[in-house]
Amino acid sequence: MGPLLEQVFSAEEFRHQGHQIIDLLADYLEAAAQPSTDAVMPWMPPGKGEQHWADDFADHAGQPISTLLAKVLEEGIHLHTPRYMGHQISPPAPAAALAGLLNDFMNNGMGVYEMGIPGSVLERQVVKVVARQMGFGENADGVLTSGGSLANLTALLTARSIKAPENIWQVGTGGEQLALLVSEEAHYCVDRAVRIMGWGAAGIIKVPADDQYRMRTELLPSCLAEAKAAGKRVIAVVGSACSTATGSFDDLQAIGQFAQQHNLWFHVDGAHGAACAFSRKYRKLVAGIELADSIAMDFHKMLLTPSVTTALLYRNSQDSYHTFAQKAQYLWEKEGEQEWHNLARRTFECTKTMLSLRAYSLIRTYGIALFDEYVTQVNDCAQAFAALLQKRPGWDLAIHPACNIVCFRYAPQTEDEATNDFLNQQMRKRLVEEGSFYIVQTVLRERIYLRVTLSSPYTQEADLVSLLDRLEVIAKAIPTVV
């Protein structure tokens, strides 16, 4: 072994550095639980950031890994603090992060069974746990994959291979114009998936949403009839559980019944909100999800798991084997060769990280009661925030929140919406730059809204009051154009 490799693979060095890093993270966790004014994210503009890290390399190259990780920990965004309320990604449970470390260390490839026996078997366990929670029967199955976007595309490929009339897998997309129905509020990745499949803009039929940003399911029959009249062959309908911007849940019961009546594939994009099925209190949000043919659910958004870890579930296990092939080709299927244990047959990934361990570590250690407790707590927190906003003069709620996403807006100048847009945009910008809280913004029906996803287990009502206090102070300092 050369001298560098000798150093790299030194068990003693690893033990020493590893202990330091665990201590560092434990201190970080301890601090997250304490009241603090430390920045959620020490803001740095991109140009400055580039120089900052170039300087770091010039000054510190060759130093132990713990010095680098301490710096990254300090300067990155801190999801565990109660004042992180930004994008939809949950602070990982420490046990799941430890599982992630082992996963990275072992690097079991998981494409075929032999390349990761525990990970492959546990993937099946995890998928079964989620499928049961969704209300699927014994015949349900699925895979874990890298993110909701990829899971949605994979599910739609399955839909196509089962519902499309021609053998597209062999002959390519040259035949009929295929299409699917989806709410106008759906995540952009559904639109992208349609275009990746070669259906073009005509392949996505956007069903209008109501004032709560839910699909207007009563329009489904006319949308379908119109598409047919235009010569399109509609093969699927996608329900959002929930929509990304406002956290609105489509009526899955109604969509499921419609899909059954018209022999359409019913896919639920539950990347964010299907996790609500784990909450006894909020399960009702996904009523009807058991009617789906396929469901995508991210573990990393509402289930305390490192990203990206996504379950793609099929009500009917056999369907998942059609994703990357056409029905007719599947002679081996009849020969009983549905090899669940060779996972790459059904996923995009060839080499895949041991995604199962991140989720299974929590299920085995704490039980699914942990997911119930967490989802219920963050959703309750959103209810408390909505109540605060309603009481407080000058603030508007976009809609009453269903889950842990809340869109709201400061509108003291009610008659001048453009000024209010400018004000909210500036408020967020200044808040993020000072680092006291982290929130995001969105555009709803052409108006700018502030948006939070409540996800830290430490966030309490007092933090939400401080957020509004701080935003009002910031708003006072903003000169508004007249």
Ligand X SMILES: *Cc1c(COP(=O)(O)O)cnc(C)c1O
Check binding of 148 to ligand X (CB under 6 A): yes
Helices (H) and strands (E) in the chain, counts: 17, 11
**Side chain identity at 101, as an amino acid letter?**
L
Q: How far is the CB of 309 from ligand X (least distance, A)?
A: 9
User: Near ligand X by CB under 6 A, which window of 38-46, 264-272, 358-366, 447-455?
Assistant: 264-272
Task: Mention every residue, 6+ apart, whose C-beta is less than 8 A from residue 219.
Answer: 207, 208
Check binding of 269 to ligand X (CB under 6 A): yes
Q: Which is nearer to ligand X, 86 or 148 (CB)?
A: 148
Binding to ligand X in span 295-314, by CB under 6 A: 298, 308, 310
Q: Minimum distance from CB of 416 to ligand X (Å)?
A: 32
Coil/strand/helix, residue 396: strand
Give the number of other CB atoms < 10 A from CB of residue 47: 8
Least gap, CB of 212 to ligand X (angstroms): 16
**What are the angstrom distances between the C-alpha of 38 and each of 41, 183, 195, 420, 451?**
9, 40, 44, 29, 22
Among residues 81, 103, 161, 244, which is the contact residue for ligand X, using CB under 6 A?
244
Among 133, 145, 149, 353, binds ligand X (CB under 6 A): 149
Q: What is the DSSP letter of 462?
A: H
Instruction: Decide: helix, strand or coil at residue 131.
Output: helix
Convert residues 182-221 into a mask of x (bound to ligand X by CB under 6 A) and - (unbound): -----x-x--------------------------------
Interface residue with ligand X among 147, 394, 412, 435 (CB under 6 A) is 147
Q: For 461-464, which contacts have Cβ atoms below 8 Å and span 24 or more sequence positions? A: 461/381, 461/384, 461/385, 461/388, 463/82, 463/83, 464/381, 464/384, 464/385, 464/388
In the complex with ligand X, the residue whose CB is nearer, 123 or 269, is 269
Sheet (strand 447-453) strand order: 395-397, 405-410, 447-453, 440-444
94 touches ligand X (CB under 6 A): no
Smallest CA-to-CA distance from 95 within 368, 371, 358, 375 is with 358
Residue (161 or 246) nearer to ligand X, CB: 246
For ligand X, the closer CB: 450 or 471: 450
Distance CA 89, CA 96 (A): 14
Cα dihedral 185, 186, 187, 191 sign: negative
User: Cβ-closest residue to ligand X?
Assistant: 148
208 within 8 A of 182, measured Cβ to Cβ: no
Of 83, 214, 267, 272, which lies in the binding site for ligand X, with binding defined by CB under 6 A?
A: 272
Q: How far is the CB of 244 from ligand X (least distance, A)?
A: 4
Of 90-98, 135-143, 265-273, 326-334, the segment contacting ligand X by CB under 6 A is 265-273
CB of 130 to ligand X, least distance (A): 15
Question: Judged by CB under 6 A, which stretch of 129-137, 142-150, 373-381, 395-403 contacts ligand X?
Answer: 142-150
Tokens 């287990």 belong to 457
Give the residues lining the site for ligand X (CB under 6 A): 88, 147-149, 187, 189, 240, 244, 269, 271-272, 298, 308, 310
